[in-house]
């Protein structure tokens, strides 16, 4: 906490405070340094895009922020909670009540309908919206009783977004949400994310290797070889509908 | 967690084939368990109720003749509660319209009132009236075989005098639930009957007025039967007592007890195998499920489901499968138990039958199934619990394969690439491959047990009748008779050959162990009755000494060369020391054999016999029966053929039921193991196989890779299954050893072939089901999505 790197405007608004974050994977006989001392702050209501090529460590960073993985060194604070030293029970609770995830491959339960996929999350949340409202937010009110296999990729991803926002999470962590989609469908998905961020004020971190997406962010952080490279702030956020790649 | 419940049910529906296959195996285990134990309970309760209601005695004794005044002394024996004396005798019976010789046991009952002990359960008619010396009751099975009713007539040769008897009632008694003629090895309800007659009439016929030759006792609670028996033996010794014995040695009770023991063994052995296999299958399937659902597990955890609730979810899945098997098993077990109980009830002539399925049997079955199911899946569920979400998010690492023995030996050229893939896949997880092979082998073994019983019984009959006892008729005399009687038998037209025999009841003792049996005095050069050793070679009876059935030697823990104490229970009751000179191997009953002349010498009697073996010309059989019927000293005649036939009949029903059930269960296991292994293999490798198809492999080539493994496992399992089956049969044949019978370990080739065929058929059906799935392999879809 002695340095103030990537700008934090006020502590009250800081949702994540990351300092010196290091992650080393032991893959058989080789050590993979996924993160090499990352310092980063994420502010309330902010839509941040983490931009980097594959293998740059951005997914690792997101996993640690989401309490899915633990750091090898350094610290991660979510508001006043120290995630670095949280045990499994605390991390579960953290994920349950504060975080919404969106993944590249949607990761829906194939055996549950769209509505049930959302319900699986709302059932254990504290103050969720109804699955129906959440699906309406992503314009899927007409496809609620379809199974994932009956939905297109874009629709599946929108279900995943509905699932992520349905619990009214404080933060939304998105890992290449458009990675598996064509540009047109991707825009629809991004619109859904944008809407959640704007209307619900959900702090959002979105990682991608697709620079075209960067324009919709409040802030763009570049990540390379496990380190934060540069950072830029967009004076005006572009609408998701204006994007293309 | 309603959404998770939906997932649970839909997952189950998705893998319904495997779920059903596992549940089926589970059903097999639970069903045998429930069937055996509920039948056991049912029989035990029915038996005890029956015994209590009819006041079945605790101790029995036969003697020559004792005055009624002896009762006072017997009642005074410490521990004795009640005493009932009777007159019991053997008689020849003639049923109108039935030519074969029939043997009867005449048992006295009080006139006008039920006996105090060993009372009768009246099925039809009434008890005998005082003053009527021609009224009798007959046992239910005998009446049933001949269609005899109250009001019908019988003729009996009682103490040499022919007498017409009127049937006034049909009854059952706990004493004769397994009604088997003295000295016979199989029950023959048609040719052996129990005839209850008024005490006064029977006593008059045998000059037993004011006397008795049979006595039964009930004991006070806590009385020591052994002490009481010793006491009684001392008292009745002077009256020709043949040694009192406790209920546990009563013949009908003995057979029933052996049957109950068999049920217990069955309840212990079979469920263990079935539930073991089910546990293994659950392990395979749930492990695979957790692997394929890594992503879903990660998502659940990412969204805040705790490790516990994820674990609970998969445990619930296991639970549902286990419960499915349990419910099916309890239902099937109750159904089979009911059927089996009814079979037993009919066979053992229980008067009333109420099927009991106790809650604790169901609870125990539940507990055992749960423990087996959870043991099988605890590792897989734990994996789901411990799977770190970030790791689970990534696709599974490519499986590590190694060079197999084939490559290490440099033999790869001999095998095609697909064959080597099969070998590598099997070698990669040797334990799993081994367990699959083991499971199929278990199925094979269980099916072998089904027919093993049939083989063993046929063999027993072959040895007993074709080789050891080749006489057509066995004629027993009411008293020891001079050798001359043999000549008059041999002289009958149609009798080809006759051999005499002298049997004497005796207590055989070595150190502190003893056995109530008899000494059989045989002709050393006899051709009709041969004594065989384990290799079916004839055992020569030496001039001196006694040859024992190997099992009897085991019971007494005596070896050839040691001195056997023989307490003769007849005549002036000499106690003799006789050396054991050899052992014979027999499957039915146990005996002690000596030369007839040696027995005569030890008993200090002349050339006496009390039974004769006859070889006859079939064409003259009816006349011979008539002639024998006219001989006053002849107590009864046993026809060999009929004994075999009737035995076969009684055994067949029971064995058929068992064979059917075990074959069915074995097939369930075989199918369960093969189908599941193959199904899992397909799900593990569908991407690989689809890739091969994309690369230009034909369906057949791809199927070969998948089904080849199945074929190898099945073929490996067959010899293993044979060994397992043989050991299982050996275990069962050891478990069923008793002095009544020993089941030999005989496995005919067609029994083994049948087991192998059922296993192969199950494998082929599984293969066919899988072939269909292979044809539906989605080539593009599988390649597009990550696992």
Q: What is the mean pLDDT of residues B444-472?
A: 82
**What would the pLDDT profile of B465-485 be if each residue is shown by its tens digit?**
777 788 888 898 888 899 888
Residue A243, domain member (yes or no): no
Assigned domain for A218 exists: yes
Instruction: Provide the number of structural domains found in chain A.
Output: 1
Average pLDDT over residues A170-193: 86
Question: Domain limits at B52?
Answer: 1-59+247-394
CATH number at residue A44: 3.40.50.300
Number of neighbouring beta carbons within 10 Å of residue A139: 15
Q: Out of B2, B3, B304, whose CB is closest to A97? A: B304
What's the rounded mean pLDDT across residues B678-699?
78
Q: Does residue A245 lie in a domain region?
A: no
Q: For residue B561, tell me if it sits in a domain.
A: yes
Position A243 pLDDT exceeds 90? no
- Statement to judge: residues B270 and B235 lie in one domain: no
Question: CA of B131: how far to CAs of B154, B156, B198, in Å?
Answer: 19, 19, 9
Quote the mean pLDDT of chain B: 87
Q: Given CB atoms, is A215 within the 8 Å cutoff of chain B?
A: no
Residue that is last in its domain, among B394, B423, B455: B394
Distances (CA, A) of B265 to B260, B747, B779: 9, 20, 52
Write out pLDDT tens, residues B253-276.
988 898 888 888 888 888 888 888
- Average pLDDT for residues B85-107, to the nearest whole number? 91
Q: Do A63 and B295 touch (CB under 8 A)?
A: no
Evaluate whether residue B683 is within a structural domain: no
B290 and B201 inside one domain: no
- Cβ of A120 within 8 Å of Cβ of B4? The answer is yes
Domain range for A191 is 12-237
Instruction: Look up the pTM and report it.
Output: 0.80
Helices (H), B462-497: 484-490
| Residue B679 within a domain | no
Domain for residue B767, yes or no?
no
Residues B4 and B68 in one domain: no
In chain B, the percentage of residues whose pLDDT exceeds 90 is 38
Same domain, B221 and B104: yes
Q: Which residue of B has its CA nearest to A25?
A: B391
Of A60, A95, A109, nearest to B304 by CB-CB distance is: A95
Closest Cα in chain B to A104: B393
- B171 and B209 in a single domain? The answer is yes
* Residue B598 in domain: yes
Provide the pLDDT for residue A5. 45
The pLDDT value recorded for residue B683 is 81
Would you say residue B40 has pLDDT above 50? yes
**Binning pLDDT at 50, 70 and 90, where does residue A235 land?**
confident
Distance from CA of A99 to the nearest CA of B (A): 7
Q: How far apart are CA B208 and CA B109, in angstroms?
A: 14
Which residues contact residue B715 at a Cβ distance below 8 angstroms, ignoring those fewer than 6 apart?
none
Q: Is B575 found in the same domain as B482? A: yes
Final residue of a domain: which of B246, B279, B310?
B246
Contact criterion met (CB < 8 Å) for B6 and A96: no
Q: Which pLDDT value is given to residue B778?
A: 67
Which chain B residues contact residue A93 at CB under 8 A?
304
Q: Is residue A128 part of a domain?
A: yes
Instruction: Say whether A87 sits in a helix, a strand or coil.
Output: coil
Neighbours of B99 (CB within 10 A): 12
pLDDT band at B188 (very low <50, low <70, confident <90, very high): confident
pLDDT for A1: 38
How many A-B residue pairs are in contact by the CB < 8 A criterion?
88
pLDDT of residue B105: 93
CA distance B632 to B479: 11
Which of B7, B292, B298, B302 to mutate against chain A (most A CBs within 10 Å)?
B302
Domain presence at residue A242: no
Task: Inform me whether the pLDDT recorded for A199 exceeds 90.
Answer: no
Mutate to test the interface with B, among A66, A124, A162 (most CBs of B within 10 A): A124
Report whether pLDDT(A4) > 70: no
Cβ contact A38:A74 at 8 Å: yes
What is the pLDDT averaged over residues B33-48?
Answer: 92
Q: Which two tokens stand for residue A216?
A: 């919709």
Chain A CB contacts of B300 under 8 Å are 120
Q: Residue B407: pLDDT above 80?
A: no
Q: Which of B190, B211, B246 represents a domain boundary (last residue)?
A: B246
Q: Does any CB of chain B come closer than 8 Å to the CB of residue A8? A: no
Q: How far is CA B28 from CA A235, B337, B454, in A?
A: 72, 13, 21
Contact A121 B393 (CB under 8 A): no
Q: How far is CA A236 from CA A214, A215, A232, A240, B410, in A?
A: 12, 8, 12, 12, 69
Closest residue to A120, CB basis, from B3, B11, B306: B3
Answer whether residue A27 shows pLDDT above 50: yes
ipTM value, please give it.
0.77
- Residue-wise pLDDT for B434-446, tens only, equals 888 888 898 899 8
**Least reliable range by pLDDT among A183-192, B199-208, B327-336:** A183-192
Residues 120-139 of A with CB under 8 A from B: 120-121, 123-125
B607-640 pLDDT, tens digit each: 899 999 999 998 998 889 888 888 888 888 888 7
Is A72 among the domain residues?
yes
Using CA of residue B21, residue B25, residue B28, residue B31, what is the dihedral sign? Answer: negative
CB contact under 8 A, B388 and A68: yes
Q: Which of B11, B302, B307 sits opposite A88 (nearest CB)?
A: B307
The answer, yes or no, to whether residue B764 has pLDDT greater than 60, is: yes
A105 interfaces chain B, CB cutoff of 8 Å: yes
How far apart CA B304 and CA B310 sit, in angstroms, is 10
Q: How far is CA A98 from CA A16, B266, B268, B569, in A?
A: 12, 57, 54, 93
Residue in chain A lying closest to B295 (CA): A107
Is the CB of residue A119 less than 8 Å away from at least one CB of chain B?
yes
The distance of Cα B511 from the centroid of its chain, to the nearest Å, equals 32
More confident residue, B86 or B778: B86
Whether B689 maps to a domain, the answer reads no
Residue B308: closest C-alpha in chain A? A89
Residues of B in contact with A99 (CB under 8 A): 302, 304
Q: Report the range of poorest mean pLDDT among A13-27, B365-379, B382-396, B398-412.
A: B398-412
Using DSSP, state whether B104 is helix, strand or coil. Answer: strand
Domain membership flag for residue B45? yes
Nearest to B390 among A69, A94, A111 (CB): A69
Among the listed residues B182, B241, B226, B236, the one whose alpha carbon sits nearest the alpha carbon of residue B569: B241
Which of B5-19, B390-404, B683-697: highest mean pLDDT? B5-19
The count of structural domains within chain B is 3
Q: pLDDT digits over A88-109, tens only?
A: 888 888 988 899 988 887 778 8
Q: Which residues of A touch B305 (CB under 8 A)?
A: 92, 96, 124
DSSP string, B345-398: HHHTT-S-------HHHHHHHHHHHHHHHHHHHHHHHHHHHH--HHHHHSPPPP
* B553 and B622 part of one domain: yes
Query: What is the distance between the alpha carbons of residues B589 and B243, in angstroms, rounded to a whole number?
Result: 19
Same domain, B66 and B137: yes
Distance separating alpha carbons of residues B340 and B346, to the nearest angstrom = 10
Out of A63, A107, A123, whose CB is closest to B295? A107
Mean pLDDT computed over A37-53:
92
Provide the CB-side half-sphere exposure for B340 (13 A, CA). Answer: 33
Residue A65 forms part of a structural domain = yes
Residues B514 and B631 in one domain: yes
Q: Is residue A229 part of a domain?
A: yes
Residue B728 lies in a domain: no
Report CB contact under 8 Å: B299, A107: yes
**Which of B2, B390, B785 has its CB closest to that of A63?**
B390
Residue B410: strand, helix, or coil: coil
């Amino acid at each position: 906490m002695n340095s103030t790197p990537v700008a934090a405007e006020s502590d009250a608004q800081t949702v994540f405070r990351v300092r010196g974050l290091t992650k080393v994977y032991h893959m058989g006989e080789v050590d993979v340094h996924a993160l090499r001392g990352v310092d980063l702050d994420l502010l309330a209501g902010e839509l941040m895009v983490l931009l980097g090529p594959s293998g740059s460590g951005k997914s690792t960073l997101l996993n640690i922020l989401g309490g899915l993985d633990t750091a090898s060194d350094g610290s991660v604070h979510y508001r006043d909670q120290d995630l670095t030293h949280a045990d499994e029970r605390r991390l579960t609770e953290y994920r349950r009540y504060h975080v919404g995830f969106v993944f590249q491959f949607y990761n829906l339960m194939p055996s549950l309908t769209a509505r049930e996929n959302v319900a699986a999350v709302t059932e254990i949340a504290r103050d969720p919206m109804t699955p129906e409202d959440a699906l309406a937010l992503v314009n899927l009110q007409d496809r609620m009783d379809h199974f994932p296999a009956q939905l297109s990729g874009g629709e599946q991803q929108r279900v995943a977004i509905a699932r992520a926002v349905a619990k009214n999470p404080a933060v939304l962590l998105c890992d290449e949400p458009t990675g598996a989609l064509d540009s047109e469908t991707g825009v629809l998905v991004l619109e859904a994310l944008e809407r959640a961020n704007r209307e619900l004020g959900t702090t959002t971190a979105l990682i991608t290797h697709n620079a075209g997406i960067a324009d919709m962010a409040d802030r763009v952080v570049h990540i390379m070889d496990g380190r934060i490279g540069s950072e830029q702030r967009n004076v005006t956020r572009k609408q998701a509908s204006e994007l293309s790649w | 967690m309603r959404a998770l419940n939906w997932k649970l049910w839909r997952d189950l529906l998705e893998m319904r084939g495997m779920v059903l296959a596992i549940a089926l195996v589970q059903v097999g285990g639970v069903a045998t368990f429930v069937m055996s134990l509920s039948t056991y309970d049912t029989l035990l309760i029915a038996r005890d109720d029956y015994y209590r209601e009819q006041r079945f005695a605790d101790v029995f004794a036969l003697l020559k003749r004792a005055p009624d005044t002896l009762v006072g002394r017997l009642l005074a024996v410490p521990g004795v509660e009640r005493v009932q004396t009777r007159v019991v005798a053997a008689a020849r019976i003639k049923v109108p319209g039935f030519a074969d010789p029939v043997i009867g046991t005449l048992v006295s009952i009080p006139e006008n009132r039920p006996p105090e002990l060993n009372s009768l359960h009246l099925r039809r008619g009434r008890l005998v009236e005082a003053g009527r010396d021609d009224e009798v009751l007959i046992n239910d099975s005998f009446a049933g075989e001949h269609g005899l009713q109250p009001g019908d007539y019988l003729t009996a040769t009682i103490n040499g005098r022919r007498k017409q008897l009127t049937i006034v009632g049909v009854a059952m008694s706990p004493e004769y639930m397994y009604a088997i003629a003295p000295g016979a090895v199989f029950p023959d309800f048609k040719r052996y009957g129990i005839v209850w007659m008024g005490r006064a009439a029977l006593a008059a016929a045998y000059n037993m007025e004011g006397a008795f030759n049979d006595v039964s006792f009930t004991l006070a609670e806590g009385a020591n039967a052994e002490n009481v028996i010793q006491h009684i033996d001392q008292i009745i010794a002077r009256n020709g007592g043949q040694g009192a014995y406790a209920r546990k040695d009563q013949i009908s009770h003995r057979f029933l007890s052996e049957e109950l023991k068999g049920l217990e063994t069955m309840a212990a052995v079979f469920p263990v195998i079935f539930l073991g296999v089910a546990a293994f299958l659950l392990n395979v399937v749930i492990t695979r499920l957790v692997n394929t659902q890594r992503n879903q597990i990660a998502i659940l955890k990412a969204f805040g489901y705790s490790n516990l609730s994820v674990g609970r979810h998969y445990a619930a899945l296991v639970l549902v499968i286990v419960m499915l098997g349990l419910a099916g098993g309890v239902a099937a077990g109750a159904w089979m138990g009911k059927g089996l109980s009814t079979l037993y009830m009919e066979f053992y002539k229980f008067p009333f039958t109420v099927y009991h399925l106790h809650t604790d049997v169901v609870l125990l079955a539940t507990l055992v199934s749960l423990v087996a199911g959870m043991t099988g899946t605890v590792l897989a569920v734990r994996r789901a619990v411990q799977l770190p979400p970030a790791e689970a998010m990534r696709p599974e690492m490519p499986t590590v394969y190694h060079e197999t023995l084939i490559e290490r030996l440099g033999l790869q050229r001999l095998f095609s690439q697909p064959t080597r893939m099969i070998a590598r896949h099997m070698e990669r997880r040797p334990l799993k491959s081994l367990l699959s092979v083991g499971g199929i082998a278990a199925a094979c073994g269980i099916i072998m047990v089904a027919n093993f019983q049939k083989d063993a019984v046929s063999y027993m009959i072959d040895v007993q009748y074709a080789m050891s006892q080749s006489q057509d008729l066995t004629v027993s005399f009411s008293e020891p008779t001079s050798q001359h009687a043999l000549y008059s038998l041999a002289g009958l037209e149609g009798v080809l050959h006759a051999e005499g025999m002298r049997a004497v009841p005796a207590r055989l003792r070595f150190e502190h162990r003893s056995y109530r049996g008899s000494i059989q005095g045989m002709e050393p050069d006899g051709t009709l009755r041969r004594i065989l050793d384990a290799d079916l070679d004839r055992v020569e009876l030496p001039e001196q000494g006694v040859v024992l059935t190997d099992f009897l030697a085991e019971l007494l823990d005596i070896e050839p060369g040691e001195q056997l104490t023989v307490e003769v229970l007849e005549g002036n009751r000499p106690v003799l020391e006789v050396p054991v000179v050899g052992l014979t191997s027999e499957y039915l009953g146990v005996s002690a054999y000596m030369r007839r002349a040696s027995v005569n010498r030890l008993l200090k009697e002349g050339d006496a016999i009390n039974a004769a073996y006859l070889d006859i010309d079939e064409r003259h059989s009816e006349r011979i029966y008539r002639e024998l019927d006219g001989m006053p000293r002849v107590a009864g005649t046993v026809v060999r053929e009929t004994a075999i036939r009737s035995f076969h009949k009684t055994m067949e029903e029971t064995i058929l039921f068992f064979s059917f059930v075990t074959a069915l269960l074995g097939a369930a296991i075989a199918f369960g193991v093969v189908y599941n292994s193959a199904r899992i293999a397909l799900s593990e490798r569908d991407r690989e196989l689809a890739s091969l198809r994309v690369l230009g492999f034909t369906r057949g080539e791809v199927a070969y890779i998948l089904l080849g493994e199945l074929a190898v496992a099945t073929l490996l399992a067959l010899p293993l299954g044979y060994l397992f089956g043989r050991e299982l049969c050996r275990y069962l044949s050891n478990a069923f050893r008793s002095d009544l019978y020993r089941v030999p370990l005989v496995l005919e080739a067609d029994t083994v072939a049948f087991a192998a065929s059922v296993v192969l058929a199950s494998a082929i059906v599984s293969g066919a089901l899988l072939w269909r799935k292979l044809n539906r392999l989605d080539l593009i879809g599988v390649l597009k999505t990550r696992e």
